[in-house]
Amino acid sequence: MLESVAKTESGFNPNAKNKKSGAAGMMQFMPATARGYGIDPYDPTQAVDAAGKMLSGLAAKYDGDWQKALAGYNWGGGNVDKAVRKYGDNWLAHAPTETKNYIRKILG
């Protein structure tokens, strides 16, 4: 899973920087998230370790639902929670196109 996330996020580029969002590194951590994990997002080892922890936490939060876990990584867990509360099982239809495409690329 982490390999697919890294490929989708940055094409495995540890120096990737999204000028629009500010996401950085191979796993494309937002600055606040990187600080929260205490990592340098440009260090591949630290970034992959933190991404693994983050995805594991999201998968546990969403009872193994990888669509929700990946949406949480891409769109933010708070946004996923709001969509699920508002739309129930149809939450994904109301997610951003970027998030839908992200999930499709990783899960197939």
Kindly report, residue by residue over 46-84, the tens digit of the pLDDT: 999 999 999 999 999 999 999 999 999 999 999 999 999
- Name the active-site residue from 9, 44, 74, 83: 9
Residue 3 among the catalytic residues: no
Segments forming the whole domain that contains residue 8:
2-107
The percent of residues above 70 in pLDDT, for the chain, comes to: 100
Output 30-37 pairs: Cβ under 8 A, ≥24 positions apart: none
106 closest CA partner among 53, 80, 68: 68
Calpha distance 82→20 (Å, rounded): 24
CB 34 within 8 Å of CB 43: no
Residue positions counted in the chain: 108
Q: How many domains does the chain have?
A: 1
pTM to 2 decimal places: 0.95
CATH number at residue 27: 1.10.530.10
